[in-house]
Every structure is written in C-alpha cells, then in structure tokens.
C-alpha cells in the first residue's frame, strides 16, 4: 500500500493492485431483494415517462365522439398496444412492490428470509397482473 502525507497525517492512496482490473457487470449476482428494489425504481421511471401518453389518450377520448373513435383507432396499431401494455405492466409492478413496502413499513418482511420471500411473492403477483393486462388489452 502507498501512503501520502498531508496536514492531517497519512492517507491511503489506491494502488493498481487495490482496484478491480475488470469490472464485468454480467458477473455480478444480485440478490432477489436487490432485483426487486431496482425494478421498483425502474417501474417508477416508466410510469413517470408513460403518464403523458395515458393523459393524452384520456384527453383524446374525452374530446367527443370523434375523439373517442380516434382513441379506439390507436389500439389497432401493435406498437401503441405494446406501449400501453408496458405502462400497465410498470403500474402493476410498482403497485405490488409499493404494497410490499407498506408491509415492510409495518414491520413485516424485515429479516433476510422474509424479505426474500416477499420479493418472490411480489414478482409472481406482478407477472400475473402483467399477463392479465396483456390479455385485457390484446
């Protein structure tokens, strides 16, 4: 290890041996709780970015009979259906993960084992809701 001096004393300076040579992100193994947390944040971003799409669709559908017909016509395009399904999928996951966090705030699921169980349950429930949303839209 190398040390350098300053007014406060000796400070550890990182040498090339201390640093990772190659940080390959594909080799990292995240626990299920970390994956659930990251997906909760990602779904929040998707909801934030997808809200204007849903609001524009709502505004179009409330613009009268012609606007409602135009809104229905948008659902004939596969890409639009996929975007709306993606927003609903993000809403499903964010909702389920939010309920999981409410339970954790009440003191349930705070141990390692129960946290992993809650993460698995929330993933299964969210995937089920995503499939149901896809069946409903298509």
- pLDDT by residue (tens digit) across 84-117? 999 999 999 999 999 999 999 999 988 999 999 9
Asked whether the whole model's pTM tops 0.85, one would answer: no
Which of 1.20.1300.10, 3.40.50.10540, 2.60.40.60, 3.40.50.1360 would CATH assign to domain 31-137?
Answer: 1.20.1300.10
> What pLDDT is stored for residue 7 in this prediction?
57
> What pLDDT is stored for residue 17 in this prediction?
63
Quick one: tokens of 34? 């970390």
Question: Distance (Å, rounded) from C-alpha 71 to C-alpha 52?
Answer: 14
> What pLDDT is stored for residue 18 in this prediction?
67
**Core vs surface per residue 87-108: b (16+ CB within 10 A) or e:** bbbbbbbbbbbeebbeeeeeee
Region of 109 (left: φ > 0; alpha: ψ -120 to 50; beta: rest) is left
Question: Distance (Å, rounded) from C-alpha 137 to C-alpha 57?
Answer: 14
Question: Distance (Å, rounded) from C-alpha 129 to C-alpha 106?
Answer: 24
Q: What is the pLDDT of residues 64-90, one digit of tens each?
A: 999 999 999 999 999 999 999 999 999
Per the DSSP assignment, residues forming a β-bridge with 4 are: 11
Q: What is the pLDDT of residues 33-50, one digit of tens each?
A: 999 999 999 999 999 999
Question: Distance (Å, rounded) from C-alpha 36 to C-alpha 30?
Answer: 10
Nearest to 90 by CA among 100, 79, 82, 80: 82
- Where are the domains positioned within the chain? 31-137
């Amino acid at each position: 290890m190398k040390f350098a001096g300053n007014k406060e004393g000796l400070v550890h300076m990182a040498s090339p041996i201390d640093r990772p040579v190659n940080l390959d992100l594909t080799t990292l193994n995240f626990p299920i709780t970390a994956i659930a947390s990251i997906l909760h944040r990602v779904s929040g971003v998707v909801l934030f970015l997808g809200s204007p799409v849903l609001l524009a669709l709502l505004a179009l559908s409330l613009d009268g009979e012609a606007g409602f017909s135009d809104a229905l016509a948008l659902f004939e395009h596969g890409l639009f259906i996929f975007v709306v399904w993606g927003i609903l999928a993000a809403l499903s996951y964010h909702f389920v993960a939010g309920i999981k966090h409410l339970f954790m705030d009440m003191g349930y699921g705070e141990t390692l084992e129960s946290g992993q169980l809650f993460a698995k349950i929330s993933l299964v429930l969210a995937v089920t809701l995503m499939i149901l949303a896809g069946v409903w839209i298509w």
